[in-house]
Amino acid sequence: MNSGDVVKITDLVQECGNFREDEIEIATELVQEHLNQGVPSGYEFLLLEKADLLGAFACWGPIPGSVGSYDLYWLAVAPDFQGAGLGTLLFKESIQQIFSQGGRQIFIETSSRDNYLSAQRFYQRQGAELMARLPDFYQIDDDKLIFCVRQLT
């Protein structure tokens, strides 16, 4: 990753149209943390690019205070690249990398809002199990849904 990826990721998250301004800022901050600190930041990224265009990215990291539990913080596909299988490819590669790093379970948080229905269905199609629903977490009528993928032993 390089400093140009900060702009690319910020632009991609904005283009998706689902994220609030504060969420976009968080994505930008995670990239900057990774650039500043590398692996010790706790954030790892996987970028899918074609002809210098960012088509999709994922970000994950180990959950502090746990052994083998990871968060998949971000998985986003640019609108022009959606429907081409990049999300599935990125999800599977991210999961594989996490498991190869010693991960045994991966938690994925998303919103219950209607504009996140496709994300919810996507995670379920990928084999993620809905583990929890926290009512009104993000705001009134916007629950936090927590999905989990576990490594089969």
Please tell me the predicted confidence (pLDDT) of residue 92: 96
- Cα 59 off chain centre by: 5
Residue whose entry in the numeric block shows the structure tokens 């690249």: 81
Closest CA to 77 of 2, 20, 15, 120: 15
Counting the structural domains of the chain, the total is 1
Domain range for 138: 3-150
Sequence-ordered list of residues with C-beta below 8 angstroms from that of 145, at least 6 positions apart, any chain: 109, 110, 111, 112, 120, 130, 132, 133
pTM for the full predicted model:
0.92
- Cα 3 off chain centre by: 20
Please tell me the predicted confidence (pLDDT) of residue 18: 86
Q: What is the pLDDT along the chain (153 residues), one digit of tens a residue?
A: 888 899 999 999 999 988 889 999 999 999 999 999 988 999 999 999 988 889 999 999 999 999 999 999 999 999 999 988 999 999 999 999 999 999 999 999 999 999 999 999 999 999 999 999 999 999 999 999 999 999 876
CATH code for the domain in which residue 36 is found? 3.40.630.30
Reduced to 3 states, what is the DSSP secondary structure of residue 6? helix
**Which of the 8 DSSP states describes residue 81?**
G
Please tell me the predicted confidence (pLDDT) of residue 48: 94
Residue 143 CA to residue 64 CA, distance in Å, equals 23
